[in-house]
Amino acid sequence: MISVNETGFLPSAVKLAISDSPGSFRLIDDTEGKPIDIGVAVIDSGFDETAGCEVYRLDFSGVSAPGIYHLESDDGICSAAFKVEPHVYKTLKNSLLKSFYFQRCGCGLQEEYAGCYKRPRCHINPVRILGSEKTLTVHGGWHDAGDYGRYASAGAVTVAHMLYAYELFPEAFTDRVNIPESGNGLPDILNECRYELDFLSELQDEDGGVHHKVTTLQFCGFVMPEADLAEQVMFPVTSMSTADFAAVMCIASRVYAGYDPDFARNCIHQAYLAGQWLLQNPENTDFHNPEGCNTGEYTDDSDIDERMWAYAELLRTDTDTMPEERHHINPMSSQSDSRQDSYLANLSAGLELYLKEHDHSDGRSEDDGFGWQDVSCLAAAAVIFDPENHAGEELRNKMSDMLLERANAFVSMQEDGYPVSMKKQDFVWGSNMVVSNRADILILASIALRKKAEKTGEDIRALTLDIELYEEAALNQMHYILGMNAMNISYVTGFGENAFKDPHNRVTIADDIERPIPGMVSGGSCIQLLDEEIKKIADDSTPAQKCYFDHHLSYSTNEIAIYWNSSFLFVTAYFDR
């Protein structure tokens, strides 16, 4: 087997593949149908515990001419075909973004935009507040994953990935992806995020608290969303969802200010209300499903990192967003300056306190600070990339140290075997999220170093080696998801000869269309063996990378989720900017 990124490579990038057997290898130009005179070097070999075999790294970085190629061994084993071209990730990036349109709730998907995946409106009935007979109309948002639930923290983190990407490299989002709003003057990434932000806004109470989720009490069967007619319920307010909401609304207020000032003002107003709720409710209100409910919990026994992120964004945005209109957007502006100063002091003190309490030394393998359960690196991004440095130099340095510490750890993980920053214990439910989150952190580290050079006047050449090291490590994470893995499979529907085809996604199962919606990321290998389907082909002795089954009943290895897509969108956008 020769596994390779089945989408392809940038012309100037390091180009690697993995073989599970030794030998001689050559590069074949598929257009000409013959080998090309560029060497393929076996640069390393060793036993990879996560793959359960000896692996050999193949380097063919000498090829830079645009074309379609594959690798071939002297005994006739061939890799999948791949491209080399300057914008090799553009179509992938746009498909990852377009996938959110297919997850929209509450609207019909028209053939003009959805093609064969068109469908009527869904989940349009009023929503009942849990524990009462009161109902509300709650519009829109994205179906979270393979189910039809809508979850505040999951949605907020997903939008944050997308908005941070737009803030940091807006040049990556100039294409239209054919959604109903295309051509309205906003980049399509902001059009798509707006659809979720409007839904999240409806989850906030008058006192600022934000409800945890809107779902049915039980997961429905494998039916189309318009056939899911069970009662939808709004679950209680939690500190986790309120903090995540506060943070993402701050980001939105900045990003949309130049496009829709009224919407931006409302975002910051809601963010401040959520921030005040957090200051007035310092205890973690961890969520657990009530009896009779089995939809996603998104439970978290600590909200320290969520509060840290919220306070970092509130502190940054307080004077950064439309200062000339501050009296319109700041709910405390009618109070005395001393009260306002006290509010800011509380945010600053809270941020410092939560940074001290957050234990970042263990690397938290669950998602490493860029996912829904640990958002500490989202907090770091808020502080590090704040042009006005509202948090102060000391906190910025601490956040930078945390980010770079993790990035360095991820680089060192790629020294042996498959060049992917994953240990055996990291292959949990949604392991591909861990892979892409770590790529995101490596990318943030490279951006942080560039910005440091710009600010301090330090010679960028002195930092180039580290920047290139981080970027190459991030690309290796991408290569893993796109086919350079022990399953020899691309974990994105529609991309690669060996792309997975049978996701745990109710629409894909119920729509009677053979091809799955393109641009959706699989959860990937999971050593926890949480469903009966994966147990049919794997057990505790199965190597971590091989605990995967491309079957819709294997929910623990083959579900899709919005925050897996958004994390990988961040990666592909950076390398296609």
Percentage of the chain exceeding pLDDT 90: 85
Mean pLDDT of 276-301: 95
pLDDT over threshold 70, residue 276: yes
In terms of pTM, does the model score above 0.85?
Answer: yes
CA angle 204, 206, 209 (to 5 degrees): 45
Mean pLDDT of 92-98: 98
* Confidence band for 326, pLDDT divided at 50, 70 and 90: very low
* Confidence band for 451, pLDDT divided at 50, 70 and 90: confident
pLDDT over threshold 70, residue 342: no
Per-residue pLDDT tens for 120-148?
999 999 999 999 999 999 989 999 999 99
**What was the pLDDT predicted at 321?**
46
Catalytic residue among 358, 390, 479, 504: 504
* Confidence band for 429, pLDDT divided at 50, 70 and 90: very high
Please list the alpha-helical segments (H only) found in 423-561: 431-456, 460-481, 506-510, 532-535, 555-558
Residues 6+ apart with CB under 8 A from 406: 360, 363, 368, 369, 377, 438, 441
| 40-54, 215-229, 306-320: least confident range | 306-320
Which residue segments constitute the domains of the chain, with CATH numbers given? 1-88 (2.60.40.10), 90-484+560-574 (1.50.10.10)
Q: Catalytic: 504?
A: yes
pLDDT over threshold 90, residue 35: yes
Catalytic residue among 29, 202, 511, 550: 550
**What was the pLDDT predicted at 223?**
98
456-488 in b/e burial notation, b at 16+ Cβ within 10 A? eeeeeeebeebbebbbbbbbbbbbbbbbbbbbb
Q: Catalytic: 147?
A: yes
**Cα-trace Rg, the chain:** 23
* Confidence band for 355, pLDDT divided at 50, 70 and 90: confident
Mean pLDDT of 504-521: 97
Percentage of the chain exceeding pLDDT 70: 94
Catalytic residue among 192, 196, 305, 559: 559
Return the sign of the alpha-carbon dihedral for residues 406, 407, 408, 412: positive
**What was the pLDDT predicted at 406?**
93
pLDDT over threshold 50, residue 546: yes
| 15-29, 358-372, 429-443: least confident range | 358-372
Q: Catalytic: 211?
A: no
Catalytic residue among 48, 144, 147, 228: 147
**What was the pLDDT predicted at 324?**
43
Can you tell me the distance from the alpha carbon of 246 to that of 367, in angstroms, rounded to the nearest whole number?
21
| 19-33, 68-82, 310-324, 559-573: least confident range | 310-324
SS3 (DSSP) at 1: coil
**What was the pLDDT predicted at 318?**
64
pLDDT over threshold 50, residue 325: no
Q: Catalytic: 559?
A: yes
Mean pLDDT of 248-263: 97
pLDDT over threshold 90, residue 158: yes
**What was the pLDDT predicted at 357?**
72
pLDDT over threshold 80, residue 330: no
